[in-house]
Amino acid sequence: MIRAILRPEVTDDVADALTNAGFISMTKMNVFGRGRQQGISFGDVHYDEIPKTMVMMVLPDEHVEQVLGIIRAKSFTGNFGDGKVFISDVESTYTVRTGVKES
């Protein structure tokens, strides 16, 4: 599973690039959080949590590096807050409608 926490303004570009590469299935959700910079300040105003978008995908191991490359290429700005990508194993999946366990 890939969970990418990204700037909201790059999410459509990331999703389009993944779709064009054949990676269609994904879940996107609006999230809030902060990284090492502990939020952001503009003058006297401090924003403790920053809006981000999380893209989640489950895919075979052999596609992880390709998808990671697409995500990084389309979301990189070079500034703090570009995001974070988490990769983890998925033990099993089930289809809700049928109850069938997928391999």
Q: Where are the domains of the chain?
A: 2-102
User: Can you tell me the distance from the alpha carbon of 37 to that of 45, in angstroms, rounded to the nearest whole number?
Assistant: 15
Write the CB contacts of 70 (distance below 8 Å, at least 6 apart in sequence): 14, 17, 18, 21, 23
User: Can you tell me the distance from the alpha carbon of 27 to that of 56, in angstroms, rounded to the nearest whole number?
Assistant: 5
- Cβ–Cβ under 8 Å, residues 70 and 17: yes
Instruction: Count other Cβ atoms within 10 Å, centred on residue 6.
Output: 24
Nearest to 78 by CA among 1, 4, 2, 10: 10
The C-alpha torsion from 23 through 27 and 28 to 32, rounded to 10°, is -130
Per-residue pLDDT of the chain in tens (103 residues, 90 and over written 9):
999 999 999 999 999 999 999 999 999 999 998 777 676 667 777 777 889 999 999 999 999 999 999 999 999 998 878 899 999 999 999 999 999 998 7
| 2-102: CATH topology | Alpha-Beta Plaits (3.30.70)
pTM of the predicted model as reported, rounded to 2 decimal places: 0.85
